[in-house]
Structure 1
Amino acid sequence: MLWIPFTLLAAFMQAWRNAFQKQLSKDVSVAGVTLARFIWASPLAALYLTGLYHWQPVALPQFNGKFALFIVGAALAQILATALMVKLFKLRNYAIGAGLAKSEAILAAVLGVAFFSESLSWLGWIGVLLGAAAVFLLSGASFRQLSWPVMLLGLSSGLAFALTSLWVRQASLVLGLPFPHGAAWVLLVVILLQSLLLLTYLAWRDRHTLVALWQRPKLTLLVSVTSCIGSIGWFTAMSLESVALVKTLGQIEVLFMLLISAFFFKEKLQKADHGGLALIVLAAIAVMWA
């Protein structure tokens, strides 16, 4: 049951990361805000891995071609998913697209069962479906508002996020290291690869963004720290349990985000949010019992 506290930690940290990214995005481009997730997370992930080896020394991993494929796939899929989410910002019905992007849990369940030898109990499937309905309600969407561009972008983003999580889990399993060392190695390698890719791109195409991040060290550090701690929670939880269950329970992040919105940004909650939150709680209970 250790996957439950790690998932709750990940959801809580991700909610704060989104809040800090919201502030940073006022002055920094989307690519720069994305890089802020990784730029200080790499040394933090290295410190975390070093601490694990001091606490419990184990053998060093034997990297192979399968591991490399899963790592590259996960890193690129996450960048693609983020880019598709950014595209949704430019569309009129962003909230609907974002709600569809949260289809990650149900897509991860279907793909996991079909291609990754995962299994879900009937209670697990109920939890996944309740969670999908909850995030769609919280997006304020209705089926009459849907358009093909919004639907395709939202579902494509959800698919890319689902593949990221599934490949991260497979990479952890391939290493064959004891808990939680395998997840820590995957975390470090994925973040290093993503940092290298984004730094290279910005140095080539948009150096002003790197300067903008350098001029906002506190906010950049907060984004990186919360992102790194959140990733530790996600990667560790997914090394222990099915991605679909982890991501369904992780939708409790929406509750944390609404609380942060109310108390940190002083924004009022909508009455329509209550039904979606109730479904998220029911989904969380279902997957924990599953």
Structure 2
Amino acid sequence: MLWIPFTLFAAFMQSWRNAFQNELSKEVSTAGVTFARFIYASPIAGIYLWGLYQYKSAPIPSFSHTFLYTVLLASISQIIATALMVMLFRLRNYAIGVGLAKSEAVIAATLGALLFSAPLSSLAWAGVIIGAVAVWLMSNTGSLRQISLSTVGLGVGSGLAFALTTLWVREASLMLEVDFPYNAAWVLLFVISTQTLMLLTWLILKEPSTLSALWQHPKLTLSISLFSCLGSLGWFAAMSLETVALVKTLGQVEILFTLLISARWFKERLSRRDLLGLALIVAGAACVILA
């Protein structure tokens, strides 16, 4: 049951990371905000892995081509997911942007059933349907007959990319012939390092001014990297112990943290429809995990 505290820790850290990213998105481009979550994370991940080996020795795993390919897929998918979420922040308010992206949980459960031989029960499928209704409610800014396709597309796209990331991260951790928590720590270091290198190369070539903009917001950038790395540490550890569907459905508690941050920090007001949508996402997640 160790995956439960790791998941709750990850959800709490991620809710704050999203809040800091929302603030930075007002000053920096989408690519810059995405890079902010990785810029200081690699050293933190490296120190964590070094600390594990200092605490208790363990073998160094071998890294196959399949492992490296899976890490690359997870890295690219998470970059896309984060960029889409940042774009969501600019279309809707903070809480709703996160709520839409949390369609990740039901998408992960569905992909697990279709691609990883993990069929869903009737109760689980009910959760998937409830989650879909919640996404529709929160994306609809006008009357119930009007649907913002751009918001739905970004939200579901972000959720899909996050779901693929978690599935590939779990696969990568299972490939390593070392026990927990070393397998999760190695995957964390590889994924974050790959993402840092890719985004840094992109910004140097395409948006060098963005690097200067990040330098002008050192505390916010450091906060995003720190909370992002801690959140990823929790997610990767939990997913090395339990299936993605269970981890991500329990991780929906992040929405509750998000609501508190949204109300107390950003002073945002949510409509009844927004609150209903968020409640339905939690209900859908509960159906999946109870199933």
TM-score bin, normalised by smaller chain: 0.7 to 0.9
Aligned position for 2:161: 160
What's the TM-score, normalizing by structure 1? Answer: 0.86
Which amino acid is 1:53 matched to? Y
Judge conservation of contact 1:102–1:132 (CA < 8 Å) in 2: no
Q: 2 CA distance for matches of 1:174 and 1:109?
A: 21
Q: Could you tell me how far 1:181 is from its partner in structure 2? A: 1.3
Judge conservation of contact 2:99–2:278 (CA < 8 Å) in 1: no
Judge conservation of contact 1:131–1:280 (CA < 8 Å) in 2: yes
CA RMSD of aligned residues (A): 2.9
Aligned position for 1:115: 115
Sequence identity percentage: 62
Judge conservation of contact 1:75–1:190 (CA < 8 Å) in 2: yes
Which amino acid is 1:256 matched to? F
Aligned residues: 290
Q: Could you tell me how far 1:206 is from its partner in structure 2? A: 1.6
Judge conservation of contact 1:45–1:187 (CA < 8 Å) in 2: yes
Q: 2 CA distance for matches of 1:90 and 1:16?
A: 18
Q: Could you tell me how far 1:26 is from its partner in structure 2? A: 2.1
Judge conservation of contact 1:202–1:210 (CA < 8 Å) in 2: yes
Which amino acid is 2:118 matched to? E
Give 1:189-208 correspondences, 5 Å limit.
189-208=190-209
Which amino acid is 1:7 matched to? T
Q: 2 CA distance for matches of 1:227 and 1:207?
A: 23
Aligned position for 1:14: 14
Secondary structure in 2 aligned to 1:61? coil
Matched, 1:175 2:167: no
Segment drifting more, 143-152 vs 242-251: 143-152
Deviation string 1:60-90 (CA, Å, 9 cap, x unpaired) is 1110011011101111112223344455567
Aligned position for 1:44: 44
With over 3 angstroms needed to count, the CA separation of the structure-2 counterparts of 1:57 and 1:72, relative to structure 1, is same
Segment drifting more, 66-75 vs 26-35: 26-35
Segment drifting more, 237-246 vs 57-66: 237-246
Aligned position for 1:213: 214
Q: Which runs of 5+ in 2 are unaligned?
A: none
With over 3 angstroms needed to count, the CA separation of the structure-2 counterparts of 1:5 and 1:51, relative to structure 1, is same
Q: 2 CA distance for matches of 1:285 and 1:158?
A: 17
Judge conservation of contact 1:97–1:153 (CA < 8 Å) in 2: no
Q: Could you tell me how far 1:40 is from its partner in structure 2? A: 0.6
With over 3 angstroms needed to count, the CA separation of the structure-2 counterparts of 1:164 and 1:250, relative to structure 1, is same
Judge conservation of contact 2:22–2:89 (CA < 8 Å) in 1: no
Which amino acid is 2:38 matched to? F
